[in-house]
Structure 1
Amino acid sequence: MGSNPTLSATAPAYADSFILRSRYKCSTCWSAQGDSAGQRGTAVLSKLPPRERQIVDILYERGALAVADICDALPVQLSGSAVRAMLKRLEDKGYVRRAGSERGFLYSPVVSDTVAKKSALSEIVRVFFNGSPASAASALLGMSDKLKQDEIDELERMIARARKSKGGQ
């Protein structure tokens, strides 16, 4: 795929379904429309090699980190140079960015965790629930014995807001 993936014949068939219209690269989709300046399609996070995926997951979990901190967080001991090489590949692919600090470079995910969560959830709904958010919500509510009362109250408020935004009661 290279460091600058573009939509081609090898793009997933569901490319048209998940288009993120922002300057950030969607962690779980391909951009299927013409890219504006600075935008390019980005492959599914789950398609990353396992170690690169672990690094991105650690960055989402812990926030911006230096190479030494990433090395410490990995379940398998890797050298700093190996981690730096993977971070360089991830940066070239558009998954992470680096910023200078007094401790050296700090690496963080390009896509905000909110956008990544929404995009990942959209993919799960598409794959496991035939694109039906109601089916996904039903499955989650089937786990209601694990929900706290304040979580149930928040769900009710969210449903009320959704109804209101759709012109319902």
Structure 2
Amino acid sequence: MTNFEKLSRRERQIMEIVYEIEQATVHQIRKQLDGDPTPMAVRRLLAILMEKGYLKRVKSGREFAYLPKQPKTKAGVKALRKVVKTFFEGSIGEALATHLERPGASLSSEEVERLSRLIDEFKKEQNKRRKP
């Protein structure tokens, strides 16, 4: 489940926190939320997210820790596709170009190398498909 559009603002915030720290307790989540929600309010939201199928929980000492049911990378791919579709007419190339054209945008040399390799592989695959 990664259709975060159906979540409330607070539920999305909690999901972002859980994805960021991978396994979070009520206390850890509460510390990162604005507005100083009560532990009971956070527990209720976590229960709702579990009911909706976004989270699972495991016993961690005297507390429970909450984890996303879907891996971060899979959720990230779905979110990225939605952003690219919504803001860049489905063009990943346009999204990347827009990012790189911004002042202060950066890629590490490893990222540049990886992207170059992936683009080369993509070109080879496209050429294979074109040849009869």
Q: Tell me the TM-score normalised to structure 1 length.
A: 0.67
**Aligned equivalents of 2:105 and 2:38: distance in 1?**
44
**Aligned equivalents of 2:63 and 2:105: distance in 1?**
46
1:99 equivalent in alignment to 2:58: yes
**Aligned equivalents of 2:56 and 2:29: distance in 1?**
14
Specify which of 148, 152, 162 is matched with residue 112 of structure 2. Answer: 152
* Structural mapping, 1:17-166, within 5 Å: 25=1, 27=2, 44-143=3-102, 146-166=106-126
Structure whose CA Rg is larger = 2
**Aligned equivalents of 1:134 and 1:72: distance in 2?**
38
RMSD of equivalent CA atoms: 2.0
Structure 1: tracts of 5 or more residues without a match: 1-24, 28-43
In the TM superposition, residue 89 of structure 1 has moved relative to its aligned partner by 0.5
Structure 2: tracts of 5 or more residues without a match: none
In the TM superposition, residue 113 of structure 1 has moved relative to its aligned partner by 0.7
The amino acid of 2:116's aligned partner reads E
Q: Which moved more, 1:64-73 or 1:79-88?
A: 64-73
**Aligned equivalents of 2:5 and 2:62: distance in 1?**
30
1:66–1:103 Cα contact (<8 Å) kept = no
Query: Identity percentage over the alignment?
Result: 35
**Aligned equivalents of 2:62 and 2:124: distance in 1?**
49
The amino acid of 1:151's aligned partner reads E
**Aligned equivalents of 1:68 and 1:138: distance in 2?**
40
Larger proportion of helix: 2
